[in-house]
Structure 1
């Protein structure tokens, strides 16, 4: 492609530091540009003072250098994946080592190769495509307000004026692993790409952006946008990049040229047989593994292409060393069988596969983030949002319970908030149906649930029923409202003991903005006695949808604080020592007398 490019970045009239950073690079040789392409990248640092400025500069430097040094013929998405992984880990490590623990940045990078734009994106910078005067947004903002809007929690008008509009739900440097959005768009002659920071796109209507880049050269457009944003009183740093596609070469030409490079020849995915599955392999000549989504100590979830349907799916594969474990295999098999009988918009869909060469589960692929990741980023959620999210979860739970399924491991990491505005309950690995055999408790293990959200009856080894899931949902609601789990302790046994013998702190003692009615809902769901909880998820949903009509029964006044685990342990230790002292004294006396007798 032949491109015309321009970029500008300004501190703006209010800020004292420019934490934005922009960068562009392309090979000097036209032949190299045809094969390797060009890259434009923009980053908006977060963290305050100079740390955001450092993070954004690191991200751009890594993006450009990684692209420059990538082997010729490397796939654009692989280069983008390398860029984001390296930038995220370097910024995270730098923040930890330099004690700038809130150091972070957004990053949006666009590789232009052949006649396509490949985009990697984390944060709230944006990429727009302008074609024939029409504009299309190619990225999705990773902000709390955007999540609210997609879930239907607030309107577009409210989102634009919300105080939470600058709260990010995803950025580089906050965690060792980051989730990246990838997108691709075909390009035509005279198309324009706009990359801009939130300091700019919040000050312009989309039709303004399209009109300016259509009428002006990229350089003039950048100057106009910066000057106009400053005149409109921009409160943030302002950055803009404009790329105009002057000419797209014919497909046959650039494909022929790229084939001169041996490294550019696509390698055929390798089949899987008797080994742990990896990216680039194919399961049963059907599922082409293209990306790792999540890896745990028991299994790996991959993004894959279903060659039979052409759809993108998620494939969960147990680690090879666990496939021969009968207990693990039974759990894995149960998860798939239970998932097959459930068909609800709030439950992750399992895709049936008739013949398999090894254990694995194929699921629908959904974009989004888990509730626990959202809470790690945002902290306490707005009360109205928590009630609506919990209400939707009640919908899914009610359907599940009506079909005889108890989840038994409801927790924030098993709840996906999807980009299309829906949510999904996931992971039925320890779920049970009415026909299941009883499982007894012989010490804590992952097959029993997660201590922070387990019900008291689960801790006692009982099978539980729908009220078990209601308790866990109450614990999730508690955490969304207060920013902390209901029970805390030095270890899992202390947490479980506290749940058995006591109640959590009253939610309003941790967050006074919670109304007495909402507190009543939480404590009703978290009653230690299952018979005192909501009898169904539908009953709980009714009160979540109409909290103003909830009757206050004084549950918060009847809460009993759990005795600290350490204190009880000391008491038990003292009792044992007191009981053993006479025995020890007798043995010592006997030894002394025996020696004297000799």
Structure 2
């Protein structure tokens, strides 16, 4: 049974858990010690408390996947990672330093200090982007200034690794980010553009330089969209002592069109270090917002933008992507076993394959469903554990498989949307036995076969005697 709670005094995989130091929206952090590690350790666990747990579960799994793959002074070192099958956690370096969050209360800061901070954070983004990761939650509380001078980025629960499947994009159809700092691309659910981090850094710099947030504190998705057409008050209107070149940099970072921003964090860092090289445009001398007519034109243009197409991860190989739809319902274990045998056959014949194992938890349109079972276990987490247990006998490389528990009222539509967004080459799905109800209402497998954009293999099996096959 998976245990989600952690208490001071426990020993988990050799780590002695000590006092709690932080409670966030999706995770809880403790101090910890390990006999083989001299440095201070932070012990991070997911915060699973209510029906909104799915985002926290998937976000924490993304962080467990991404953070151990990162290296360098600009991210925390990872010592150990747990698993949802037993105890999910991340044991990582305690960074000796402070976040930028207290600086907000001190803002506006002297321009020289703003430039110094901006240079160090941009340098951290250079390192992160070179490792093919987009942070997607750049904000003062996620930026730690080491006592040695470097900026370190923390909290990778919303991040995307461009060479790994994006579980958040695949499983949720909502913008992900922190409202004041979220980029226009994130509002449109585009999670594949590193320039999103440059926009978010621009929001941080604007706040530190002026003492005000450029887009306020939006409370709705519609309010988030206004940054796509309404420009902020120019910083020099609020603080005349801000140099034109610094306003040029900040407003360029905040361009709603990513093509008009700095194209790389490296170029931004260079401009901050060499202000004489900054080409001044009308942005540098702007003292008022654009007219309502200009904003209206931007609004009309933004409304005409086509929907964002999900971007496949940039695999270093030409892996085929196979989506395996696993039925974990009680009484249908024989179907799950038949599906595993077929999956093993496909793996043995197709060479390099990327496997996405998914299970859909059917939601009711009428009744509110509990997030926990009668034993107090989180149902979403238990389903994720069962899915991983199902796949374990396949012996597939962990870097070649991902696991997704979806929640939907329409199972077939959810499976089809996932396969389309994942650019799947093949779908494997099992079919339950025939019944009068299925004859009149249709089956999930039949609908997937009829509507899928790719090859579908339907696996059937005869139920053992004494087993229901409804």
Closer, same or farther: CA 561–419 of 1 in aligned 2, 3 Å: farther
Corresponding position of 1:283: 12
- The answer on 1:292 being equivalent to 2:20 is yes
2:240 corresponds to 1:523: no
Give me the whole-angstrom Cα distance separating, in 1, the residues matched to 2:126 and 2:185: 20
Partner residue in 2 for 1:477: 205
Taking the aligned partners of 2:120 and 2:203, their CA distance within structure 1 comes to 16
Match of 1:497 in 2: 225
Counterpart position of 1:424: 152
1:560 aligns with 2:279: no
CA separation of 1:312/1:516 partners in 2, compared to 1, >3 Å: closer, same or farther? same
Aligned to 2:104: 375
| Offset at residue 459 of structure 1 (A) | 0.7
Give the stretch that moved more between structures: 538-547 or 298-307.
Answer: 298-307
- Residue 444 of structure 1 deviates from its aligned partner by 5.3
User: Measured at CA, do residues 541 and 441 of structure 1 come closer, stay the same or move farther in structure 2, by a change above 3 Å?
Assistant: farther
Distance in 2 of aligned mates of 1:470 and 1:407: 10
Contact kept, 8 Å, 1:504 with 1:561, in 2: the verdict is: no
What is residue 118 of structure 1 aligned with on the other side?
Answer: none
Equivalent pair of 1:318/1:360 in contact (CA under 8 Å): yes
Shift of 1:551: 1.4
Alignment partners' CA distance in 2, 1:538 and 1:294: 32
The answer to whether the Cα contact below 8 Å between 1:499 and 1:562 also exists between their aligned partners in 2 is no
Asked which structure has the greater RCO (Cα within 8 Å, sep 6+), the reply is 2
1:363 to 92, 105, 114: 92
1:141-540 alignment, distance < 5 Å:
274=3, 276-284=5-13, 286-321=14-49, 327-353=55-81, 357-376=86-105, 378-435=106-163, 436-437=165-166, 439=169, 448-488=176-216, 491-493=219-221, 495-540=223-268
Deviation at residue 550 of structure 1 after TM alignment = 1.2
Q: How many residues align?
A: 291
Q: Secondary structure at the match of 2:179?
A: coil
Distance (whole Å) between structure 2 residues aligned to residue 476 and residue 324 of structure 1: 28
Equivalent position SS for 1:357: coil
Contact preservation (8 Å) 1:348, 1:363: yes
Residues 151-182 of structure 1: CA deviation (Å, up to 9, x unaligned):
xxxxxxxxxxxxxxxxxxxxxxxxxxxxxxxx
1:87-128 deviations in Å (ceiling 9; x for gaps): xxxxxxxxxxxxxxxxxxxxxxxxxxxxxxxxxxxxxxxxxx
TM-score (norm 2): 0.56
Structure 1 unaligned segments of length 5 or more: list them: 1-271, 569-598
> What is the CA distance between 1:354 and its match in structure 2?
7.0
Q: Please name the residue that 2:445 is paired with.
A: none
* Cα distance, 1:499–1:299 mapped onto 2, change above 3 Å: same
SS of match in other structure, 1:491: coil
- C-alpha displacement at 1:561, in angstroms? 5.9
CA gap 1:276/1:473 in 2 versus in 1, 3 angstroms: same
User: Are the structure 2 counterparts of residues 498 and 535 from structure 1 closer, same or farther at C-alpha, using a change threshold of 3 Å?
Assistant: same
Quote the Cα distance in structure 1 between the aligned partners of 2:230 and 2:254.
Answer: 11
Q: Deviations over 1:487-513 (max 9, x none)?
A: 125634464132122111101011111
Q: Is the 8 A contact 2:82 2:90 kept in 1?
A: no
Structure 1 residues 490 and 521: alpha-carbon distance in aligned structure 2, compared to 1, 3 A threshold:
closer
Deviations 1:505-554 (A, max 9, x none): 10101111100010000111111111111110010011100113311110
Take 2:171 and 2:272, find their aligned partners in 1: how far apart are those partners? 33
The alpha-carbon deviation at position 394 of structure 1 amounts to 1.4
1:454 to partner: Cα distance: 1.0
Aligned counterpart, 2:387: none
Give the secondary structure class of the aligned counterpart of 1:362: strand
**Partner-residue secondary structure (3-state), 2:119:** helix
Larger Rg: 1
Change (3 A) 1:442 1:497: farther
Deviation at 1:441, TM superposition (A): 10
How far has the Cα of 1:321 moved from its partner?
Answer: 4.1
Cα offset, 1:336, TM superposition: 2.2
Q: Distance in 2 between matches of 1:274 and 1:529?
A: 45
Contact 1:508 1:519 in 2 (8 A): yes
* CA RMSD between the two structures: 3.1
TM-superposed CA distance for 1:368, in Å, is: 2.6
In the TM superposition, what are the counterparts of 1:11-22 in structure 2 within 5 Å? none
